[in-house]
Structure 1
């Protein structure tokens, strides 16, 4: 069977709705690439390696011959462990660790520079179309999971004043005693936790607008004087960086996730979904097995019926994608269905 012969996205949604099956969405970098492939891609990001003033990083990219940041990060992490074990040259180890940190921070800065300037740069018709796509899940008590770090989904949901998108953040009153004495309340930054039980939007690998202060998880917001990217830039200038999973292997990603209360909560929520999961722009590559593990936990193998994940619908664009999913299909503990990703109306009607 070829990709063009697969079921369409509309057929997937119509089937799930007819069955009254609870459905959730997981999307990856393909979501943003579909908006603009010249902006949101590893190749576009990797151009910034030329601007990094670090000879070790430049040489590593040449030796590995890849545009994949994750792979380079993985090799750097491996190199650090090897150097610690076999080398007594502390200066070399220090250089490798510094190069690793430079790469991670440069990746965040690159994403920031490659973004559209602000939400209103996204054409209105694309914004509305994307909101309808996301709302198909959110308005029917579904959950939306993203492995992306960019601002597109946040922008779309805010611009369209989504009634169903809840990211778990809210403001706390910092002077409750004074408020009781009829004084005006002073509100905190947007902090995560107060509304997590109602949360419907989950950034599995973090996002540019989410920061860990060491005490609270905060979300940056725009104001009347500054767009969101400007505010993020100010934080980054002060050496404060967003929560951002940049480790290479799936195990390294999972380690990062487990050591952050926001990320671990989002991951745990993925392991508890029921019904069906629709995926788009997520290829389940070798560095994504932690996501398959979460899906398998939700599938609750051995439990024949009841509250569990019954199936996953995976979108593919090419014959290569199709063949790859067929090769790894056995890794899933729930039914795998494959559909034609080119038929998904994310940014334009199809």
Structure 2
């Protein structure tokens, strides 16, 4: 039996919508799961580490990281040292290739093929996200990218040509073409990092996932954060100009109301929770109501959220009442 929402004061979206017109939206993994259950493995590391070789597991453990790119960079540096000192590097090169292929395989496993994507669903949801003026997301999959392509309302600050490589567009915060933007707070599979620039890959005639994995095979790695702790995530954000800009836009947003959907607000994202608590006055937060949850479980979850967002007025709404996915 599904718990009665009025027993725990969970609203329907249409009853609170007028208070959150044209305000920012923060999306978490719960949003993407409506498009594909494969994305239950939001963390590519978790998917990969299940069956990877023991040597590779040791590397991730030694560097206390779940970030593919960081481990690969360490191995590339070691390769250069070995080459300069004429030290055999077969085992290093072998593990580098294993990790690189593991990242490619993990991306392919959790993302849908073109045949599996429901275009009608993309069109339906794209119309609904137009009710918001900005979109922040902690997801790094491609579904939001398809939605904003269909929506045509949102920009992403990647509009300038990247002179060094025309396959990419360059991040520039001075985007005068759009008033509404998407912010990938933890990066995206579309976004890559060069020594002093952040760039986004352009579409070509191939399936976008293939374009991305082809870049990985050439030792160009997407910019996305997969570290587990909030402290590590924040450190990665602060090390990149684009991620720093996105995080600042969330922190210093002029609109003091925000809607949160599909975001668990867990300890791993406390860097985001703290800034939302400081900056926003009224917050609408989705709660998933199902027959598997008791009244006490719902109350416990709501009380936890209230305890970490103690400075704002919190309104809880039924997650099934905001977006229609079919």
| TM superposition score category, shorter chain reference | 0.7 to 0.9
Q: Which stretch shifts more, 109-118 or 143-152?
A: 109-118
- 1:169 maps to which residue? 158
- 2:250 maps to which residue? 270
Q: 1:199 to 1:42 in 2, by over 3 A?
A: same
Q: Pick from 171, 195, 215 the counterpart of residue 214 of structure 1.
A: 195
Q: Deviation at 1:73? A: 4.0
- The answer to whether the Cα contact below 8 Å between 1:272 and 1:297 also exists between their aligned partners in 2 is no
SS in 1 for 2:25: strand
SS in 1 for 2:285: strand
- The alignment's TM-score, normalised by the length of structure 2, stands at 0.76
- 1:338 maps to which residue? 316
Q: What is the aligned residue count?
A: 285
- The answer to whether the Cα contact below 8 Å between 1:157 and 1:165 also exists between their aligned partners in 2 is yes
- 2:109 maps to which residue? 113
Q: Deviation at 1:48? A: 3.5
Q: Pick from 314, 323, 331 the counterpart of residue 285 of structure 2.
A: 314
Q: 1:237 to 1:243 in 2, by over 3 A?
A: same
- 2:260 maps to which residue? 279
Q: Deviation at 1:171? A: 2.4
What CA RMSD, in Å, does the superposition of the two structures yield over aligned residues? 3.5
What CA deviation, in whole Å up to 9, does each residue of 1:187-209 have, x standing for no partner?
67311115446461000000000
What CA deviation, in whole Å up to 9, does each residue of 1:99-124 have, x standing for no partner?
99987984575134321123x64223
1:293 maps onto 2:271 in alignment: no
Q: Deviation at 1:238? A: 1.1
Matches for 1:172-251 after TM superposition, within 5 Å = 172=161, 174=163, 189-193=168-172, 195-196=174-175, 198=179, 200-223=181-204, 225-251=205-231
Q: Which stretch shifts more, 284-293 or 192-201?
A: 192-201
Q: Could you tell me how far apart the structure 1 residues matched to 2:303 and 2:98 are?
A: 38
Q: Deviation at 1:243? A: 0.7
What CA deviation, in whole Å up to 9, does each residue of 1:59-92 have, x standing for no partner?
x99xxxxxxxxx9849xx9xxxxxxxxxxxxxxx
- The answer to whether the Cα contact below 8 Å between 2:136 and 2:185 also exists between their aligned partners in 1 is yes
Matches for 1:114-133 after TM superposition, within 5 Å = 114-118=110-114, 121-133=116-128
Q: Could you tell me how far apart the structure 2 residues matched to 1:292 and 1:43 are?
A: 19
Q: Deviation at 1:347? A: 1.7
What CA deviation, in whole Å up to 9, does each residue of 1:8-43 have, x standing for no partner?
1222324434xxxx5110011001111122x11128
Q: Could you tell me how far apart the structure 1 residues matched to 2:252 and 2:137 are?
A: 16
- The answer to whether the Cα contact below 8 Å between 2:167 and 2:202 also exists between their aligned partners in 1 is no
What CA deviation, in whole Å up to 9, does each residue of 1:318-347 have, x standing for no partner?
443552231231322211111111223242
Q: Could you tell me how far apart the structure 2 residues matched to 1:174 and 1:35 are?
A: 35
1:329 maps onto 2:325 in alignment: no
Q: Could you tell me how far apart the structure 2 residues matched to 1:215 and 1:190 are?
A: 14
Q: 1:194 to 1:270 in 2, by over 3 A?
A: closer
- 2:40 maps to which residue? 41
- The alignment's TM-score, normalised by the length of structure 1, stands at 0.71
- The answer to whether the Cα contact below 8 Å between 1:168 and 1:199 also exists between their aligned partners in 2 is no
**Unmatched 5+ residue regions in structure 2?**
71-90
Q: Could you tell me how far apart the structure 2 residues matched to 1:44 and 1:262 are?
A: 21
